[in-house]
Amino acid sequence: SRRYYLLGRDRLLDQLAPPPGGSILEIGCGTGRNLIGAARRYPDARLFGVDISQEMLKTALITMCRRKIDQRVRVACADATSFDPLPSLGQRQFDRVYFSYTLSMVPEWQAALRHAFSLLSEDGELHIVDFGQCEALPRRFRSMLFRWLDLFHVSPRADLRNELARLAKASGASIHFEAPYRGYAWLATIKRQAAPQSAAP
Protein backbone atom coordinates (compact mmCIF):
# COMPACT_ATOMS: atom_id res chain seq x y z
CA SER A 1 0.00 0.00 0.00
CA ARG A 2 3.03 2.31 0.31
CA ARG A 3 2.71 3.47 -3.29
CA TYR A 4 -0.63 5.08 -2.47
CA TYR A 5 0.65 7.41 0.24
CA LEU A 6 4.38 7.94 -0.42
CA LEU A 7 3.70 10.66 -2.95
CA GLY A 8 6.43 12.29 -4.98
CA ARG A 9 8.89 9.41 -5.21
CA ASP A 10 8.68 9.12 -8.99
CA ARG A 11 8.88 12.89 -9.28
CA LEU A 12 12.16 12.80 -7.35
CA LEU A 13 13.56 10.06 -9.60
CA ASP A 14 12.64 12.07 -12.69
CA GLN A 15 14.49 15.10 -11.30
CA LEU A 16 17.75 13.28 -10.56
CA ALA A 17 19.04 13.60 -14.14
CA PRO A 18 22.63 12.51 -13.44
CA PRO A 19 25.40 13.31 -15.92
CA PRO A 20 26.19 10.60 -18.50
CA GLY A 21 27.72 7.63 -16.71
CA GLY A 22 27.12 9.36 -13.38
CA SER A 23 26.72 7.78 -9.96
CA ILE A 24 23.52 7.70 -7.88
CA LEU A 25 23.36 6.76 -4.20
CA GLU A 26 20.13 6.13 -2.28
CA ILE A 27 20.39 6.38 1.50
CA GLY A 28 17.75 4.14 3.04
CA CYS A 29 17.12 2.07 -0.09
CA GLY A 30 14.93 -0.51 1.65
CA THR A 31 13.67 -3.19 -0.70
CA GLY A 32 15.07 -1.45 -3.79
CA ARG A 33 11.94 0.01 -5.35
CA ASN A 34 13.53 3.38 -6.12
CA LEU A 35 16.83 1.93 -7.31
CA ILE A 36 14.91 -0.18 -9.81
CA GLY A 37 13.10 2.95 -10.99
CA ALA A 38 16.40 4.82 -11.30
CA ALA A 39 17.92 1.94 -13.28
CA ARG A 40 15.05 2.09 -15.74
CA ARG A 41 15.30 5.87 -16.16
CA TYR A 42 19.09 6.13 -16.35
CA PRO A 43 20.46 3.01 -18.08
CA ASP A 44 24.07 4.23 -18.12
CA ALA A 45 24.17 5.37 -14.47
CA ARG A 46 26.08 3.57 -11.73
CA LEU A 47 23.73 2.79 -8.86
CA PHE A 48 24.40 2.36 -5.15
CA GLY A 49 22.26 1.95 -2.05
CA VAL A 50 22.66 1.67 1.70
CA ASP A 51 20.22 0.65 4.38
CA ILE A 52 20.51 -0.18 8.07
CA SER A 53 18.34 -3.29 7.66
CA GLN A 54 20.11 -6.38 6.35
CA GLU A 55 16.76 -8.09 5.78
CA MET A 56 15.56 -5.22 3.58
CA LEU A 57 18.75 -5.49 1.53
CA LYS A 58 18.27 -9.22 1.05
CA THR A 59 14.83 -8.53 -0.41
CA ALA A 60 16.25 -5.75 -2.57
CA LEU A 61 18.92 -8.04 -4.04
CA ILE A 62 16.38 -10.77 -4.81
CA THR A 63 14.10 -8.27 -6.55
CA MET A 64 16.92 -6.68 -8.52
CA CYS A 65 18.14 -10.10 -9.60
CA ARG A 66 14.67 -10.88 -10.95
CA ARG A 67 14.71 -7.58 -12.85
CA LYS A 68 18.21 -8.42 -14.15
CA ILE A 69 19.79 -5.23 -12.84
CA ASP A 70 21.74 -6.74 -9.94
CA GLN A 71 25.02 -6.34 -11.85
CA ARG A 72 24.43 -2.58 -12.08
CA VAL A 73 23.64 -1.96 -8.42
CA ARG A 74 25.86 -2.24 -5.36
CA VAL A 75 24.31 -2.16 -1.89
CA ALA A 76 25.62 -2.24 1.67
CA CYS A 77 24.31 -2.33 5.23
CA ALA A 78 25.20 0.98 6.85
CA ASP A 79 24.19 3.73 9.28
CA ALA A 80 23.03 6.82 7.38
CA THR A 81 24.74 9.21 9.77
CA SER A 82 28.32 7.99 9.56
CA PHE A 83 29.10 5.32 6.96
CA ASP A 84 32.23 5.38 4.82
CA PRO A 85 31.17 4.39 1.29
CA LEU A 86 34.65 3.60 0.03
CA PRO A 87 35.12 0.19 1.74
CA SER A 88 31.51 -0.91 1.27
CA LEU A 89 30.59 0.58 -2.10
CA GLY A 90 33.99 1.20 -3.68
CA GLN A 91 33.36 4.91 -4.19
CA ARG A 92 33.79 7.97 -2.00
CA GLN A 93 31.68 10.58 -3.79
CA PHE A 94 28.52 10.55 -5.90
CA ASP A 95 26.89 12.80 -8.49
CA ARG A 96 23.45 12.34 -6.98
CA VAL A 97 22.47 11.31 -3.47
CA TYR A 98 18.86 11.03 -2.34
CA PHE A 99 16.55 10.25 0.55
CA SER A 100 13.07 8.97 -0.26
CA TYR A 101 10.80 8.99 2.81
CA THR A 102 13.67 8.03 5.06
CA LEU A 103 14.68 11.21 6.92
CA SER A 104 11.38 10.98 8.79
CA MET A 105 12.51 7.61 10.15
CA VAL A 106 16.11 8.47 11.06
CA PRO A 107 16.35 9.73 14.68
CA GLU A 108 19.52 11.75 14.00
CA TRP A 109 18.20 13.05 10.70
CA GLN A 110 20.21 16.29 10.71
CA ALA A 111 23.44 14.29 10.99
CA ALA A 112 22.29 12.02 8.13
CA LEU A 113 21.55 15.07 5.99
CA ARG A 114 24.95 16.64 6.62
CA HIS A 115 26.73 13.35 5.99
CA ALA A 116 24.89 12.82 2.71
CA PHE A 117 25.88 16.30 1.56
CA SER A 118 29.52 15.54 2.35
CA LEU A 119 29.39 12.61 -0.09
CA LEU A 120 28.53 14.77 -3.10
CA SER A 121 30.99 15.21 -5.90
CA GLU A 122 31.70 18.66 -7.31
CA ASP A 123 28.43 19.97 -8.83
CA GLY A 124 26.65 17.07 -7.09
CA GLU A 125 23.02 17.25 -5.94
CA LEU A 126 21.23 15.96 -2.85
CA HIS A 127 17.54 15.22 -3.42
CA ILE A 128 14.92 14.67 -0.73
CA VAL A 129 11.27 13.67 -0.73
CA ASP A 130 9.39 13.11 2.50
CA PHE A 131 6.24 13.95 4.38
CA GLY A 132 5.58 17.68 4.54
CA GLN A 133 3.48 19.61 7.02
CA CYS A 134 0.23 19.41 5.01
CA GLU A 135 0.15 23.21 4.92
CA ALA A 136 -2.85 23.54 2.58
CA LEU A 137 -4.78 20.50 3.81
CA PRO A 138 -7.46 20.46 6.53
CA ARG A 139 -6.04 20.57 10.04
CA ARG A 140 -8.00 17.46 11.00
CA PHE A 141 -6.41 15.49 8.15
CA ARG A 142 -2.96 16.59 9.28
CA SER A 143 -3.67 15.55 12.86
CA MET A 144 -4.97 12.13 11.83
CA LEU A 145 -2.06 11.54 9.43
CA PHE A 146 0.58 12.46 12.00
CA ARG A 147 -0.99 10.26 14.67
CA TRP A 148 -1.05 7.35 12.23
CA LEU A 149 2.57 7.91 11.18
CA ASP A 150 3.62 8.01 14.81
CA LEU A 151 2.43 4.42 15.20
CA PHE A 152 5.22 3.45 12.79
CA HIS A 153 7.84 5.74 14.40
CA VAL A 154 7.67 8.16 11.46
CA SER A 155 8.10 11.85 12.27
CA PRO A 156 7.71 14.45 9.50
CA ARG A 157 10.57 16.93 9.87
CA ALA A 158 9.05 20.38 10.29
CA ASP A 159 12.52 21.95 10.42
CA LEU A 160 13.77 20.38 7.18
CA ARG A 161 13.66 23.59 5.18
CA ASN A 162 15.55 25.53 7.85
CA GLU A 163 18.13 22.78 8.18
CA LEU A 164 18.72 22.83 4.43
CA ALA A 165 19.08 26.61 4.53
CA ARG A 166 21.72 26.34 7.25
CA LEU A 167 23.58 23.69 5.28
CA ALA A 168 23.45 25.77 2.11
CA LYS A 169 24.62 28.92 3.86
CA ALA A 170 27.59 27.12 5.41
CA SER A 171 28.68 25.58 2.11
CA GLY A 172 27.61 28.06 -0.55
CA ALA A 173 25.13 25.58 -2.03
CA SER A 174 21.84 26.41 -3.74
CA ILE A 175 18.39 25.09 -2.78
CA HIS A 176 15.18 24.34 -4.64
CA PHE A 177 12.17 23.55 -2.46
CA GLU A 178 8.66 22.40 -3.40
CA ALA A 179 5.56 21.48 -1.40
CA PRO A 180 3.33 19.54 -3.84
CA TYR A 181 0.03 17.82 -3.07
CA ARG A 182 -0.97 20.79 -0.90
CA GLY A 183 2.03 20.25 1.32
CA TYR A 184 1.45 16.54 1.86
CA ALA A 185 4.96 15.96 0.51
CA TRP A 186 8.07 18.13 0.50
CA LEU A 187 10.65 17.85 -2.26
CA ALA A 188 13.99 19.57 -1.98
CA THR A 189 17.22 19.71 -3.94
CA ILE A 190 20.44 21.14 -2.58
CA LYS A 191 23.21 21.55 -5.14
CA ARG A 192 26.89 21.83 -4.38
CA GLN A 193 28.55 24.66 -6.26
CA ALA A 194 31.81 23.99 -8.04
CA ALA A 195 34.79 25.86 -6.69
CA PRO A 196 35.76 28.75 -9.00
CA GLN A 197 38.83 28.04 -11.08
CA SER A 198 41.73 30.38 -10.60
CA ALA A 199 42.64 32.55 -13.55
CA ALA A 200 45.59 31.48 -15.61
CA PRO A 201 48.75 33.52 -14.94
User: Contact at 8 Å (CB) between 159 and 175?
Assistant: no
pLDDT at res. 2:
63
User: Contact at 8 Å (CB) between 80 and 50?
Assistant: yes
pLDDT tens for 16-54 read 999 999 999 999 999 999 999 999 999 999 999 999 999
Q: How far is CA 68 from the centre of its chain?
A: 23
Judged against a pLDDT cut of 60, whether residue 1 lies above it is answered with: no
pLDDT tens for 65-115 read 999 998 999 999 999 999 999 999 999 999 999 999 999 999 999 999 999
Neighbouring C-alpha atoms within 13 Å toward the C-beta of 18 = 25
Judged against a pLDDT cut of 80, whether residue 199 lies above it is answered with: no
Tell me the C-alpha distance between 120 and 103, whole Å: 17
pLDDT at res. 197:
58
Q: In this structure, how many other beta carbons lie within 10 angstroms of the beta carbon of residue 95?
A: 21
User: Contact at 8 Å (CB) between 116 and 97?
Assistant: yes
Q: How many helices (H) and strands (E) does the chain have?
A: 8, 7
pTM value? 0.94
Angle at 131 between CA 154 and CA 40, to 5 degrees: 105
- Biggest distance spanned by C-alpha atoms of the chain: 64
Tell me the C-alpha distance between 180 and 136, whole Å: 10
Give φ, ψ of 21 to 5 degrees: 70, 15
pLDDT tens for 139-188 read 999 999 999 999 999 999 999 999 999 999 999 999 999 999 999 999 99
